[in-house]
Amino acid sequence: MTTVRGARARARIEITAAIKDEARTQLAAEGAAKLSLRAVARELGMVSSALYRYFPSRDDLLTALIVDAYDSVGAAAEQAAAAAEQERPLDRWTAVCRAVRAWAVAHPHEYALIYGSPVPGYTAPQDTIVPASRVGLVLIDIARRAHTGEGVALPPLPDDLRPEAVRISADIAPDLPPALAVALVAAWSQLFGLVSFEVFGQFHRVVEDRDTFFATAARRLGQDVGLLPRG
Partner DNA sequence: GTCTATAGGCGGATAGAC
Partner DNA sequence: GTCTATCCGCCTATAGAC
Residue ranges binding DNA (CB under 7 A): 8, 11-12, 15, 35-39, 42, 46-50, 52-54, 57-59
| Burial of 37: CB neighbours in 10 Å, binned 0-12, 13-18, 19+ | buried
- The alpha carbon of residue 225 and the mean position of all alpha carbons in its chain are separated, in whole angstroms, by 19
* Site membership for its own copies, residue 182 (CB under 8 A): yes
* Site membership for its own copies, residue 156 (CB under 8 A): no
Name the amino acid, one letter, at 164: E
Choose one: 5-13, 24-32, 52-60, 91-99; the region binding its own copies (CB under 8 A): 24-32
Rounded distance between C-alpha atoms, residue 52 and residue 145, angstroms: 47
Choose one: 11-19, 54-62, 67-75, 168-176; the region binding its own copies (CB under 8 A): 168-176
Answer whether 157's CB lies under 8 Å from 182's CB.
Answer: yes
Q: Report the residue count for the chain.
A: 231
Q: Which of 14, 171, 175, 231 binds its own copies (CB under 8 A)?
A: 171
Q: Which of 12, 34, 42, 53 binds its own copies (CB under 8 A)?
A: 34
Could you tell me the CA-to-CA distances from 161 to 93, 114, 136, 152 in Å, in that order? 25, 29, 21, 19
Least separation, in Å, of the C-beta of 20 and DNA?
14
Rounded distance between C-alpha atoms, residue 57 and residue 51, angstroms: 9
Q: Which of 29, 82, 83, 106 binds its own copies (CB under 8 A)?
A: 29
Q: Which residues bind its own copies (CB under 8 A)?
A: 29-34, 112-113, 115-121, 132, 155, 157-158, 160-161, 163-164, 167-168, 171-172, 182, 185-186, 188-194, 196-197, 200-203, 205-209, 212-213, 216-217, 220-221, 224
